[in-house]
A = this chain, B = another copy of it.
Amino acid sequence: MSETTETEFDAQTAVVARPEGGYAAELAPGWSVGGGLNGGYQLAVVGQALRAALGPLGKPDPISISAYYLSAAVGGAATVEVDVRRDGGSLATAAAELRQSGEARITALATYGDLATLGDDVRTTAEQPELPPVEECVPGSLAPEEVRRMAPLMDRFDMRFHPDQVGWVVGQPSGKGELSAWFRLAGEREPDPISLLLVVDALPPVTFDLGMPGWAPTLELTAHVRAVPAPGWLKVRHATRNLAGGMFEEDCEVWDSAGRLVAQSRQLARQPRG
């Protein structure tokens, strides 16, 4: 890490404005899983480009972002085009598209604002996931060698799984359709609204817990960032309730160290074929 404490996450999601418009990014192969780059990582890169475009308008933070995954991204050069559709009041909405070699990887819509200016009122009936203390949870680094080879992205963060929800590793999934874990970026890089876009898609597919190992390609993912996360470990919970017709929804919640629900997301994914 440099003295400016730029972490791996910051360096590898960075975007640079191009003279001809849009932003350039260099996608890092270390975020790959299975055949392509992790969808949450791609979303964070798109999020950085939107922040670069909308931050100067006083809207630096993602409030809502909806991404449609069109083709598998790989390590290497990419561009993000941003087209502001509306800027008014406290929010701005833009379309964004991540491309490689002229081919669209993700097309997205997003509304940005300034999370720091939202009111402090919280009336949440949602309850945070029950997780044993970090040191009693199962680190991803204990995953079998073949899993880690297939998922280099697991080295990008520290993930500690609920010990009751790792039966899938040894072929004994709970069947409940639920996974939860502690999460922290490498280098102890503290969470912020952009990194939450990664976090909502960082855990293994919840279908692992239904006895379906294998890659579950995301068709669509929408994330709502509800508050600026406090420093420290995050709690992340994935759940599904409706697996049907070869697809399933995966709901994700992210809770910060202050016990606040900071992000909610839902994705529609294809059921693994395996």
Within 8 A of B (CB), among A104-143: 104, 107-109, 111, 115, 118-126
- The winner among A64, A70, A108, A264 for most chain B CB atoms within 10 A is A64
Q: Please tell me if A158 contacts chain B, counting CB pairs below 8 Å.
A: no
Summarize A's interface: helix, strand, loop or mixed: strand
**What number of copies of this chain does the assembly contain?**
2
CA distance A120 to B91 in the complex (A): 42
* Contact present for B91 and A219 (CB under 8 Å): yes
Within 8 A of B (CB), among A59-88: 63-64, 66, 68, 70-71, 85-86
* Contact present for A222 and B224 (CB under 8 Å): no
Residues on the B chain within 8 Å of A91, using CB: 219
The chain B residue with its CB closest to the CB of A115 is: B245
Looking at the complex, which of A19-27, A28-36, A45-53, A236-244 is the stretch in contact with chain B?
A236-244
* Contact present for A71 and B86 (CB under 8 Å): yes
Determine how close the nearest CB of chain B comes to the CB of A219; give it in whole angstroms: 6
* Contact present for B109 and A244 (CB under 8 Å): no
Determine how close the nearest CB of chain B comes to the CB of A234; give it in whole angstroms: 16
For this complex, into which size category does the number of interface residues on chain A fall?
35 or more
The 3 closest A-B pairs by CB, nearest first: A118-B245, A66-B66, A126-B241
Q: Please tell me if A186 contacts chain B, counting CB pairs below 8 Å.
A: no
Determine how close the nearest CB of chain B comes to the CB of A97; give it in whole angstroms: 8
* Contact present for A95 and B95 (CB under 8 Å): yes
**Residue A123 contacts which of B68, B109, B222, B244 (CB distance < 8 angstroms)?**
B244
* Contact present for B109 and A93 (CB under 8 Å): no
